[in-house]
């Protein structure tokens, strides 16, 4: 989330327990171009196949250009628009920071005043 805010990307965090139809509705409403997903998740001691849910949700959705897959297990990429998260780490680590205005500001970038410089 912080990386998205840093570059000014609009993002939406989705609960991992959503079904494919609810996820598809959210992706469609947002006209999402990129979906980031872990291949599996763990809930109550059980493995949840997150990538399978996303695969079903984005089936025949033309707005989604790329699906970034973070592999915790041994999952193979199945489509041309899927990208392995680790492949993205090969790019330079620096990304230009978005210049914030007063109207557009994320709370995570609000400067903090050190305790020594505070007026009592």
Q: What are the pLDDT digits (tens) for 26-68?
A: 999 889 899 999 988 888 888 888 999 999 999 989 999 999 9
The mean pLDDT of 81-105, rounded to a whole number, is: 74
Here the tokens at position 1 are 């989330």
Cα–Cα nearest to 33, from 69, 8, 9: 9
HSE-up of 31 (CA within 13 Å, CB side)? 0
Highest mean pLDDT (candidates 3-7, 33-37, 40-44, 71-75): 33-37
Here the tokens at position 27 are 């992706």
- The residue written with tokens 């020594």 in the block is 116
Distance CA 6, CA 100 (A): 9
Element (H, E) at 102: none
Q: Is residue 68 within 8 Å of 34, Cβ to Cβ?
A: yes
Distance CA 120, CA 102 (A): 27
């Amino acid at each position: 989330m912080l990386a998205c805010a840093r570059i000014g990307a609009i993002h939406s965090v989705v609960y991992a327990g959503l079904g494919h139809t609810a996820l598809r509705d959210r992706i469609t409403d947002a006209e999402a171009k990129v979906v980031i997903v872990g291949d599996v998740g763990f809930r109550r001691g059980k493995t949840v196949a997150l990538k399978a849910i996303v695969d079903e949700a984005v089936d025949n959705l033309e707005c989604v250009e790329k699906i970034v897959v973070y592999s915790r297990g041994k999952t193979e990429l199945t489509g041309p628009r899927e990208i392995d998260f680790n492949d993205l780490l090969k790019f330079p680590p620096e990304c230009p920071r978005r210049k914030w205005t007063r109207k557009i500001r994320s709370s995570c970038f609000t400067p903090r005043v050190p305790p020594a410089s505070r007026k009592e």
